[in-house]
Amino acid sequence: MNIQKTIIALALSTAFLGGCNNTTTTASKPTASAPSIEQVVESESESQRLNSFFEKTFMDAVMRSPQYQTYLGIKQDYDKWDNNSEENAEKELQISKDNLVALQKFNYSELDQQTQISYLLMKQSLEQEIADYQWRYHNYPVNQMFGTHSNIPSFLINQHSVANVDEAQAYISRLAGIEQVMQQLVVQLKIREDLGIIAPSFVFPHVIRDSQNLIIGAPFTEGDDSTLFADFKKKVSGLEIDEEQSKELIKAAEQALIANVQPAYQDLVDYLITLETKSVSDAGAWKFPQGDVYYNNALARTTTTQLTAEKIHKIGLSEVARIHNEMRIIKEQVGFKGDLAKFMQFMRDDEQFYYAGDEAGKQRYLTEATALIDNMKSRLDELFLVKPKADLIVKRVEAFREKSAGKAFYNRPAPDGSRPGMYYANLYDMKAMPTYQMEALAYHEGIPGHHMQLAISQELEGIPTFRKFSSYTAYSEGWGLYTEFLPKEIGLYADPYSDFGRLAMELWRACRLVVDTGMHVKKWNRAKSIAYYVDNTPNAESDAIKMVERHAVMPSQATAYKVGMLEILRLRESAKTQLGDKFDIREFHDVYLKNGPLPLDMVEKMINNYIAAKKAP
């Protein structure tokens, strides 16, 4: 499996996993009647042997990735970073090829049903990793959404826990190792530069600013402690050690920051300043080598469908028109005088829909978002049979990245329960966080949205580990958008303005279908793309700018939400039509969630199997 791709998916989808202590188990002594290893192997079924292969393949990949180990709470290589060299990429490709050969030696017809699903999923994943190797440079390793420059501090702050002196020293070693990570990053950027794959101009100020922010403050400059120095000090202060030992650790961290972190980030900034002079404003995938082929492939991977760019564009236009009509109904309901454009302007500008930008206003937003989630927790039995064990909390996006980060996202809990799921709200610009969208946003990122889907997937039993941590954007983001709508069916969104907010967020995702394909196939420029959002939604212009910039650096990703939601609703309607009184929405959701992340065509097979079983005498 492609661990680097999985780590990126974790960082974006919001699947950060918390660190935890290693656990050990003591093997029981064999009894005289215990079978030999040879006897056990001979008695194993083909499904058991294949599931052992799945676990070995997954854990081998994990143990080649120090960062993924940390996500999973394994601390064997707690002082190291992943190897992002060209040589290692080629090595990983060969491992994928070898794993595919090994997989195909198993007898598919002898597998039980669940293991057949696992076989197909791993086969597809490996085949796609091998096929997509040709597109490995068709991306921007640093951008305003994600990248090594911002993943490093986020990883250390959120994932590298410090429970003892050894773990503090491992943190220091990782600080020292940042220099090599950055050197590998610059190599990757230069390869893309030679291919003409250079991020659009708007990316550079964001990345340069965020990188410079990390080397401002003590021990680099006068003022408060820098981001990483403050994090390290805070973690060390929680250790039960004497003052002298604490000072030694802090001094060692200070030296690593000055000797390794500062020059690493400064070298990156210097290179980016030079590279920026070669950038242009064009932001579509069409400008890449074989851009059209790449983008169509990206759409297939993102949506897990065969929908073409043109078809997706038309679906978007149709959905925008439908949602506009539903908004007009709410406009009449609240007695607004004027057309839909005026109503959108009213919703965008009226002060009653925004909290103050001071600390009190931001805390009020967090408190009320938490209350919405708590209320939804009390209603889950009406909609679900399976529920997550892990808790969920609401947090603000950290200051060092809030200016460029998205408006909201979710980080999944630690597998061992040591860290809850986290719904992050970006409160940098309170004008981009209207209160009428608060309810839908909380449902999407929290409950019953990503927390239900992602926390449950890693708590499942009876499926291979690789399936628990797989990532299919249309599956997860389609679910997130579907679960914005779902609470309305049990009487929530009682405030018509909140219901308008729900529609506004669905409208936003419909517009994404239009603009993503517009930018990457139809060569829409930045101004036209931003104008489409501003003209068709009530969102702030700052939202539109950020979204267009996101389209630019993540081709196809934003199409997954609406495509996924529409597919879930289509399958649900099919089940309701065929089952009639036998249809139970809780069972439908159970089928969707209890098998872990799946491509949409596999979801359809699962739903059809459920329908057939339910209809059987």
Q: Is residue 278 part of a domain?
A: no
Structural domain total, the chain: 2
Q: Which domain, by its residues, includes 128? A: 1-21+37-137
Write out pLDDT tens, residues 282-322: 899 999 999 999 999 999 999 999 999 999 999 999 999 99
Confidence (pLDDT) at 3: 55
From the list 464, 472, 454, 587, the residue with the least C-alpha distance to 116 is: 464
For residue 33, what pLDDT is reported?
A: 40
Count, residues in the chain: 617
Evaluate whether residue 260 is within a structural domain: no
Q: Is 462 left (phi over 0), alpha (psi -120 to 50) or beta?
A: left
Q: Is residue 533 part of a domain?
A: yes
Phi-psi region of 338 (alpha: psi -120 to 50; beta: other; left: phi over 0): left
Asked if the structure places residue 132 within a domain, the reply is yes
Backbone angles phi, psi at 240, to 5 degrees: -90, 75
Maximal CA-CA distance, the chain: 86
Domain boundary among 119, 137, 155: 137
> How many other C-beta atoms lie within 10 A of the C-beta of residue 212?
13
Going by C-alpha positions, the residue among 150, 130, 131 that lies closest to residue 140 is: 150
Would you say 572 and 588 are in contact if contact means Cβ atoms under 8 Å apart? yes
Give the domain-ending residue among 112, 137, 162: 137
pLDDT 10s digits, 524-536: 999 999 999 999 9
pLDDT, position 486: 97
pLDDT for 1 equals: 56
Q: How far apart are CA 170 and CA 81, in angstroms?
A: 11
- Per-residue model confidence (pLDDT) at position 540: 82
Q: What angle do CA 48, 54, 58 make, to 5 degrees?
A: 150
Q: What is the per-residue pLDDT for 538?
A: 92
- In this structure, which long-range contacts are made by residues 604-608, counting pairs with CB atoms below 8 Å and at least 24 apart in sequence? 604/567, 604/571, 607/571, 607/574, 607/575
457 closest CA partner among 408, 392, 387: 387
Per-10-residue mean pLDDT for the chain, 617 residues long?
54 34 30 39 82 97 96 94 98 98 98 96 97 98 94 94 97 98 98 97 96 97 96 97 97 98 98 98 94 96 96 98 98 97 95 96 97 96 95 90 83 84 94 94 96 92 91 95 97 96 97 98 96 94 91 97 98 97 97 95 95 92
Residue 541 CA from chain centroid, whole number:
24
In a domain, 398, yes or no: yes
Among residues 114, 137, 160, the one where a domain terminates is 137
Q: In the prediction, which pLDDT does 293 show?
A: 96
- Tell whether 232 is covered by a domain: no
How crowded is the C-beta side of 459, counted as CA atoms within 13 Å?
A: 20
Query: Among 392, 448, 452, 456, which residue's Cα sits nearest to residue 424?
Result: 392
Eight-state DSSP code of residue 85:
S
Q: How far apart are CA 226 and CA 90, in angstroms?
A: 37
Identify the pLDDT of residue 400.
75
* Residue 478 included in any domain: yes
Is residue 494 assigned to a domain? yes
